[in-house]
Structure 1
Amino acid sequence: MKIAMFTDAYFPRINGVSVSVKSYATELSRLGHEVCVVCLEYSQEQQRSSFFNEKESDATAPFKILRIPSTSVVFSKEDRIVRLNTWHYLKKSLDKFKPDVVHLNSEWTIGYLGSIYARHRKLPCVFTFHTMWEDYLSNYVNFLPDISLRKIGAGIVKYYLKRADEIIAPTQRIASVVSRYGIDKVPDILPTGIPEEKLKYSIKRGMAVRSRLYSKCPGIKGKKILLFVGRVVKEKNCAFLLDVLREIQKKNKKTAVLFVGNGPYLEELKELAENQNLTDSVFFTGYIPGEDLIYFYRMASVFTFPSKTETQGLVTVEAMLSGLPVVAIGELGTVDVMQGDNGGFMVKDDVNEFAQKVQLLLEDQNLRKEKSLEAKSWGAKWKISSLTPKLVECYEKAVAVKTSEKNGLKNE
């Protein structure tokens, strides 16, 4: 099957959508399908930044990548939008590829062009409802009332839900929103899978990664590490962990928080840690290549995830598959992943409760071992090798729907 995957977020831009698209495109290619990822062209500055890794370059991808000329946007330095004169270029390029199905992974300019292309060429269209824009839009736009932003965010998503032949939701919680939006289609639940290669561990490389960390953050040596992995953005609730750390240090002085990742909130978070006199206990690595994350999961004592806006929480699954127990706030995607205290503890948005559960895992080694084994077992269901065939079934459903529609028109 030939699949065109449209996304407004792709490497060197890193977020859950770009990771999902790359992971599934890679596995689909491994299974013998032809994939073309249609995404944005990024600036030379962005490509030279630490976000860009040669191993993630277009030339080394096992699938085709079609970059569409783009321009910057005022409200986000990390994001871009297509240029207005790109439609004919996109159409001509995709006509050469001749996709059997169009898969939309985002709702903005690339996603819109994908929906137009599918309509023009009468192709089956699959839409993955990755992001709750009614909740997220306020993080990008601050000059409109919240109620207006929620209506706009919901309206944008509804446009794609109505036009899709097949809808995919990464979690049951997101799927329930489809019916709330008045869409009479039942989504398929399909989370983003974790590639097996992300779990490969080399003792030699592990020692090198640890050595680099100690060189960059010498103060972390000898301390128990509470790990955060992800984009450092305000909506991830990162500052919450500083409050948690202060509580834990009342009993365990040799405890540190390590933030692995980059993002627009990084400098502000560093300043916040400095103002709270936590610079000897709070450390930042900046961007780390995906293949090195396993070594940070293995070095840490507890994975601490305070985000309340996750649709999936892929890093939580990665931590579990690495055998790292999790303490996370039980909201949105975290609820769907952990479904209670599986692989760790799911807690309320409360500093004291969060700190108490972390403290338990730090002090009771038998409990930690038990939760570590539980985490590995629970996380196994998110391996991409078992999820990709389900994605292919979704494509086949969309093809069947479109074929039925065409046959219906012929018979009229």
Structure 2
Amino acid sequence: MNILIVSDAWHPQVNGVVRTIGTVRRELEAMGQTVEVIGPDRFRTVAMPSYPEIRLAVGARRRLWTMIEAMRPDCIHIATEGPLGFAARAYCLKHGKPFTTAYHTRFPEYLRDRAPIPLALSYAVVRRFHRPSSAVMVATQTIEDALTGRGFANIKRWTRGVDTALFRPRDKGFLDLPRPVSLYVGRVAVEKNLEEFLKLDLPGTKLVVGDGPARAELQRKYPEVQWAGAKHGEDLARHYAAADVFVFPSRTDTFGLVLLEAMASGIPVAAYPVPGPLDVVNGSGAGCLDEDLKRAVETALTIPAEICRDHALGYSWRRSAEQFLSNLRPFGHAELPPP
């Protein structure tokens, strides 16, 4: 089957959405499917206000429609509520094509952190975007419950996975830093609530792996923190495994792939009891969720690495790809294979 994914988040961006789509694409291709991803890299772009690392396609509607016609997909999945997402949605509605969408990012909360936009208004826009979707794919029960409470319908589960061969326990000697090492991995941006971690009075070393629009300001404000920048592949995996606790201060993530990567590396998680951690960590024994983040760190440091690793082994990218495939809605001339 020929599957088209349209996403405003795609390479060279580095984030959970890009990694999810890229990994699921590889799994689907290994299962015999044909998958094409259309992202902003194919169009003229402008920098997203307040977030120059993210490029948004401009004037892409006509060209995107032409590309869709040329690809002749059997089904279309719209991953993001951005310019390309709206253009693909308009194509499907005009031509009577069913499509699916995903709720990767809590955009209303992100906007609220950057501008005085009421949640009711931004949720109304996002709800309208997803309303015609045959399936709104979400990663967790907590997000499903939250969206249902805000009037969303046609919600289907699409879980996440982790590469347990890459992210695994390793020698901690890779980092020659005072112990314990409290690690954060992810975007350095206001919506990640990173400063709540940086200002904690913790022994040892705070280490930040990642980059983003807030890095320069936070690095000036917290010079005692180790700022490693963005890491990938084996280098990223070694940083995970060499830490002692993974600190996740975000309150706006829908899942948090980094949680699984940390636990697969044998690293316990300290986080707030919010969507994402509540679904991925809560009740597993592999971390501590507490409104007092310092107390969560102190408790997490007592958790054995084996518990964290065993919990992460339950998450599979193949299962994620099978769920995604079963949620798709073909145009009518194709049939979905059984999961």
TM score, norm. by length of structure 2? 0.90
Task: Give 1:286's aligned residue.
Answer: 229
Find out whether 1:368 has 2:303 as its counterpart: yes
Aligned mate of 1:129, from 78, 92, 103: 103
Structure 2 CA distance for partners of 1:6 and 1:181, relative to 1, 3 Å: same
CA distance in 1, matches of 2:88, 2:164: 30
CA distance in 2, matches of 1:241, 1:181: 30
Structure 2 CA distance for partners of 1:376 and 1:20, relative to 1, 3 Å: same
Task: Write out aligned runs for 1:335-346 (5 A).
Answer: 335-340=278-283, 342-346=285-289
Aligned length: 333
Task: Give 2:336's aligned residue.
Answer: none
Task: Write out aligned runs for 1:250-289 (5 A).
Answer: 255-274=204-223, 279=224, 282-289=225-232
**Which protein has the bigger helix share?**
1
TM score, norm. by length of structure 1? 0.75
- In the alignment, is the contact (CA less than 8 A) between 1:118 and 1:125 conserved in 2? yes
- In the alignment, is the contact (CA less than 8 A) between 2:192 and 2:250 conserved in 1? yes
CA apart distance, 1:4 = 0.9
Task: Give 1:13's aligned residue.
Answer: 13
- In the alignment, is the contact (CA less than 8 A) between 1:128 and 1:167 conserved in 2? yes
Aligned mate of 1:386, from 316, 319, 324: 319
Find out whether 1:236 has 2:192 as its counterpart: yes
Higher relative contact order (Cα pairs below 8 Å, separated by 6+ residues)? 2
Task: Write out aligned runs for 1:163-242 (5 A).
Answer: 163-185=132-154, 187-196=155-164, 198-199=166-167, 210=174, 220-242=176-198
CA distance in 1, matches of 2:178, 2:111: 41
CA apart distance, 1:130 = 1.3
1:178-218 CA distance string (max 9 Å, x none): 32232443x12212322455437898xx98xx3xxx6xxxx
Find out whether 1:108 has 2:82 as its counterpart: yes
Structure 2 CA distance for partners of 1:35 and 1:344, relative to 1, 3 Å: same
CA apart distance, 1:309 = 1.5
- In the alignment, is the contact (CA less than 8 A) between 1:340 and 1:346 conserved in 2? no
1:284-307 CA distance string (max 9 Å, x none): 110111442211121111112121
Task: Write out aligned runs for 1:25-104 (5 A).
Answer: 25-41=25-41, 67-84=42-59, 86-104=60-78
CA apart distance, 1:17 = 1.4
CA distance in 1, matches of 2:99, 2:158: 16
Structure 2 CA distance for partners of 1:111 and 1:300, relative to 1, 3 Å: same
Structure 2 CA distance for partners of 1:256 and 1:200, relative to 1, 3 Å: closer
Task: Give 1:328's aligned residue.
Answer: 271
2:289 is paired with a residue of what secondary structure? strand
Task: Give 2:251's aligned residue.
Answer: 308
- In the alignment, is the contact (CA less than 8 A) between 2:77 and 2:100 conserved in 1? yes
Once superposed, what is the RMSD of the aligned Cα atoms?
A: 2.4
CA apart distance, 1:133 = 2.0
Percent of residue pairs bearing the same amino acid type: 25
CA apart distance, 1:81 = 2.4
CA distance in 2, matches of 1:160, 1:9: 17
CA distance in 2, matches of 1:114, 1:182: 23
CA distance in 2, matches of 1:383, 1:111: 27
CA distance in 2, matches of 1:352, 1:132: 25
